[in-house]
A and B are shown apart, each in its own frame.
Chain A
């Protein structure tokens, strides 16, 4: 697993209070990991802070799963 994927996983475990085993690439924040819309906004903000990127709202809407977050950040992280 890439360093980015590890960090993403750690943030999700911390913010959503879920078990590590639940954080699979296919897992959806809202459907599988119990996030509501505010949790999702908070996650995106944490990703922005951790990886020093700015994720525009229209792109944030497309980040709904763990895997989508990892690929977006692998592409955009500085």
Chain B
């Protein structure tokens, strides 16, 4: 059976750098940090008191009050970016068969704030259960895909992938696979996360995963810098419309890029620590290159997972050097998490968008906040430190790894008529 070609025809973003794709991209290429003191709750007693929040978001600009009240923030974000992407792709009624359009979304955690609030209410009561009837349907991670399908009437495959910080990339890969197998004409994919809550910050602090650089939030996310001390929690969402190539051509859709490969692997090593030699990361990049049927030398840009943790950054670099050999020195590598923070289950979505925009504009967004070289990292590698670089980007690879040892990687290629 011949696999079908899959292209990207629409994008949507709600990020710590801006609430549209163009604001997000402008923030990225200008090296803007999205970090600031936490506003979503009083963090004065927390070890980490800053995060990369979405700014200027008012649910009433997008939903009526009754509708918004029944949706956790992560679902609101999902619906908002899906709307943007559907509009961007010009998926107007009549231009598609709704039974052949799916929604495959990613969220690592789901409605953490809803879960926290309902449990706190119960704990503060007299033991009488007074759980809100919307508690479960607000909290469960899959409801985001449900909301998007209900809003647009998309009746094709519909579910949510959960693989921690790899969730959105798993969703993108699943969408790619279903379309190339001929099981859908188009799929709304991506991911959303809204975990800047007491439980989110407190939980990641307990894991010692977060930067505690409270005196300088904007320089806290510093992947590959010698003084990196953990990731910065982010929130937001990204949406992509993946579409079967002939379907997109037939309706005259604008094509951003082609999806040519997806790779998956597991570390099978530890619940939170990466494999020290980057074994899972190495395998996932080999897998994605094989799936895309390209040589390592064809890759121009790697948008790395690079979360700014001491261990994770090193093992990913080791893996890149094993897979790409000397070509690793010709590549541009960057961690856009230096600007956006780590959006957990949505990271793969907004980083896929960064990779697609790099391919489209031939600009590599930087890894900001580089002050001091890490002596354990090969200086000949080009991490695109501090300033965006113009270069031809025909092929971009995006890595995303999750707690549990889940590794995912996806490759986008420049599309020319």
Contact = CB atoms under 8 A, between A and B. Distances in A.
Nearest to B136: A38
Contacts of B133: 38, 41-42, 45
Given A15-B66, A17-B66, 17 more contacts: A16-B66, A17-B64, A17-B65, A17-B67, A17-B69, A38-B133, A38-B134, A38-B137, A41-B133, A42-B132, A42-B133, A42-B134, A45-B130, A45-B132, A45-B133, A48-B130, A49-B130
Interface residues of A, number: 9
Contacts of A49: 130
5 contacts: A15-B66, A17-B64, A17-B67, A17-B69, A38-B133
B63 to A, nearest CB: 10
Interface in A24-78: 38, 41-42, 45, 48-49
A16 B66 CA distance: 6
B98 to A, nearest CB: 22
Interface of A: 15-17, 38, 41-42, 45, 48-49
Nearest to B134: A38
Interface centre among A15, A38, A41, A48 (most CB of B within 10 A): A38
Nearest to A37: B133
Interface residues of B, number: 10
Interface in B59-107: 64-67, 69
A42 B118 CA distance: 14
Interface of B: 64-67, 69, 130, 132-134, 137
A41 B133 CA distance: 7
B61 to A, nearest CB: 16
A76 B77 CA distance: 42
A38 B66 CA distance: 13
B64 to A, nearest CB: 6
A48 B67 CA distance: 23
Contacts of A41: 133
B301 to A, nearest CB: 47
Contacts of A16: 66
Contacts of B67: 17
Nearest to B130: A45
Nearest to B65: A17
A55 to B, nearest CB: 12
Interface centre among B66, B69, B130 (most CB of A within 10 A): B66
Contacts of B137: 38
Closest CB pairs A-B (n = 6): A17-B66, A41-B133, A38-B133, A17-B65, A42-B133, A17-B64
Contacts of B134: 38, 42
B120 to A, nearest CB: 16
Contacts of A45: 130, 132-133
B75 to A, nearest CB: 15
Nearest to A41: B133
Nearest to A40: B133
